[in-house]
Amino acid sequence: MYTQALNSSDGDDRGVEDVVRANQFQARIDADERIEPNDWMPAAYRKTLTRQISQHAHSEIVGMLPEGNWITRAPSLRRKAALLAKVQDECGHGLYLYAAAETLGTSREELVDGMLSGKAKYSSIFNYPTLTWADIGTIGWLVDGAAIMNQIPLCRCSYGPYARAMIRVCKEESFHQRQGFEIMVTLCRGTAEQKAMAQNALDRWWWPVLMMFGPPDQVSRHSDTSTKWKIKRFSNDELRQKFIDATVPQAEFLGLTIPDPGMKQNENGNWEHSPIDWDEFKQVLAGNGPCNRDRLAARRKAHEEGAWVREAAMAYAEKRKSRQLAQAAE
C-alpha cells in the first residue's frame, strides 16, 4: 500500500476567501485539532487533500495489478493464499481512501474517471513489471516497507477521515511487509539460482523504491504548505533516510547487495546514497514507464467489463424499490 510524492499542495492560501476564518482554521491546526468533513476549510486545503487522498487510492487499486500477476503462479498454496489476501487488502485500502476523499465533496465516480482518463496520477512504482516470483518478495519487503514509512505519520494527519483510514491501513500493512520478507529469506536460503533471482529483483527495484518518497527537499516546492497544514509531518528526504537506514541491515541479513556501490555510512550512522536518477522518475510519472500503458489499459478493461454488473445491480435495486412502494400503496 502506497503513497508517494503526493504531498505537493495546490499553492498557498494567500487568495483565501476569508482571512478571519483562515486564521481560525490555522489556529485549530496549530492546536492539533482534527478537521472534519463539514468544518470550514480553505479551498486549497480541500483541493490538496482531495488530490493526495485520491491519488493514494488510485495507487492502491493500480497496485493490485503487478502482484495479481503472480497469484496463479505462486509456488505453494500457502504463498498463494497470502498473496491473494494481500491483494484483497490493497483493494480494501483503495476503498477506505476513496471514501475519505469523497468526504471532501468529489464523487467516487469523478475520482475513478480521473484515474481512468489518465488525468489523475498514481504512484510511479506500479509502472514497473513483476518479472519473477522474487519481485513479489521484494515488493512486500521494500515497496510496502517504504509505504509504511510514509503512512505512519499520515495517521496523525490533520484531516480526520484520512487519518482514520491510515490507521486501519497501517494495521494491515505490517502483514504485507513480513510476508514479502519471508519470501526473500526463503529464496536467499535456497539454491544459488534462487538467491540470484532475489538479488536480481533487488537490483531492479531498489532505485524505483527510493523514488517513492518523492523529489528531494530542495525541489519539492509545495511541502511548506502541507507541513503548515499538518498533512505532512516529515520531509521526503527525512523519510527516505529513515527507510534506507532500516533496510540496510535487513539486506545484510539476507546476504544481498544493495545496488549502490557508492553508498556509505556517515559519522551519524546514516547511510548516504548515490544520486538518484530523477529523470527516470519524471519519465515514469509522465506516462513513459515500462508498464504505464498496460496498467491503465487493464484498469479501463476491468471498469468497462464491470459496467453491466453495476447497471444490473442498480436496475434490480430500482425494481425492488418500486415494487415495495406499490405494495405499500395497496
Partner 1 sequence: MATPNVPLWEVFIRSRNGLAHKHVGSLHAADSTLALQAARDIYTRRGEGLSIWVVPSNAITASDPTEKGMMFEPAESKIYRHPTFYDVPDEVGHM
Asked if residue 38 binds partner 1 (CB under 8 A), the reply is yes
C-beta closer to partner 1: residue 27 or 314:
314
C-beta closer to partner 1: residue 88 or 274:
88
CB of residue 109 to partner 1, shortest distance in Å: 4
CB of residue 318 to partner 1, shortest distance in Å: 9
State the Cα torsion 86-110-301-317 to the nearest 10°: 90
Asked if residue 272 binds partner 1 (CB under 8 A), the reply is no
Cβ-contact 139, 183 below 8 angstroms: no
* Count of CA atoms in the C-beta half-sphere (13 A) of 101: 25
Asked if residue 102 binds partner 1 (CB under 8 A), the reply is yes
Cβ-contact 221, 278 below 8 angstroms: no
| CA-to-CA separations, 144 to 4, 67, 188, in angstroms, rounded | 12, 12, 19
Stretch that binds partner 1, among 48-56, 146-154, 281-289, 307-315 (CB under 8 A): 307-315
Cβ-contact 255, 195 below 8 angstroms: yes
Cβ-contact 214, 220 below 8 angstroms: yes
Asked if residue 330 binds partner 1 (CB under 8 A), the reply is no
Asked if residue 160 binds partner 1 (CB under 8 A), the reply is no
Among 71, 74, 84, 95, binds partner 1 (CB under 8 A): 95
Asked if residue 167 binds partner 1 (CB under 8 A), the reply is no
CB of residue 153 to partner 1, shortest distance in Å: 21
CB of residue 77 to partner 1, shortest distance in Å: 19
Instruction: Give the span between the Cα atoms of 48 and 225, in whole angstroms.
Output: 10
C-beta contacts of 28-33 below 8 A and 24+ residues apart: 29/158, 29/228, 29/229, 29/230, 32/230, 33/158
C-beta closer to partner 1: residue 78 or 221:
78
C-beta closer to partner 1: residue 40 or 278:
40
DSSP state of 156: T
Asked if residue 286 binds partner 1 (CB under 8 A), the reply is no
CB of residue 296 to partner 1, shortest distance in Å: 12
One-letter amino acid of 54? S
Instruction: Give the span between the Cα atoms of 125 and 2, in whole angstroms.
Output: 9
Asked if residue 10 binds partner 1 (CB under 8 A), the reply is no
Cβ-contact 239, 217 below 8 angstroms: no
Asked if residue 88 binds partner 1 (CB under 8 A), the reply is yes
Find, among 179, 65, 70, 178, the residue nearest to 122 by Cα: 65
Instruction: Give the span between the Cα atoms of 229 and 217, in whole angstroms.
Output: 17
CB of residue 207 to partner 1, shortest distance in Å: 33
Asked if residue 84 binds partner 1 (CB under 8 A), the reply is no
Cβ-contact 154, 93 below 8 angstroms: no
C-beta closer to partner 1: residue 128 or 162:
162
Asked if residue 178 binds partner 1 (CB under 8 A), the reply is no
Among 11, 68, 92, 216, binds partner 1 (CB under 8 A): 92
Which residues, in sequence order, are bridge partners of residue 35? 159
Instruction: Report the interface residues with partner 1, using CB under 8 A.
Output: 36, 38-40, 85, 88-89, 92, 95-96, 99, 102, 107-109, 112-113, 116-117, 164-165, 168, 172, 303, 310-311, 313-314, 316-317, 320
